[in-house]
Amino acid sequence: MLADALEHLVRGIVDHPDDVRVAGKTLRRGDLLEVRVHPEDLGRVIGRGGRTARALRTVVGALATDGPVRIDVVDVDRR
Partner 1 sequence: MSPTDTPAPEAKDLTTRLEEEGEIAADYLEELLDIADLDGDIDIDITFDRAAVEIIADDAASLKHLVGRDGEVLDALQELTRLAVQAKTGERSRLMLDIGGHRAARRAELTKIAEEAIETVRATGAELSLEPLNAFERKVVHDVVAAAGLVSDSRGVEPGRYVVVQPAGSAPAETEAVADVG
Query: Where on the chain is the footprint of partner 1 (CB under 8 A)?
Result: 1, 4-5, 8-9, 12-15, 44, 51-52, 54-56, 58-59, 62-63
Residue closer to partner 1 by CB (options 36, 41) is: 41
Min dist. Cβ of residue 32 to partner 1 (A): 19
CA distance 30 to 69: 6
Angle, CA 46 vertex, CA 64 and CA 12 arms, to 5°: 70
Min dist. Cβ of residue 61 to partner 1 (A): 8
Assign 66 to helix, strand or coil.
Answer: coil
CA distance 43 to 53: 10
Residue closer to partner 1 by CB (options 36, 57) is: 57
Residue closer to partner 1 by CB (options 15, 72) is: 15
Rg of the chain over all Cα atoms, to the nearest angstrom = 12
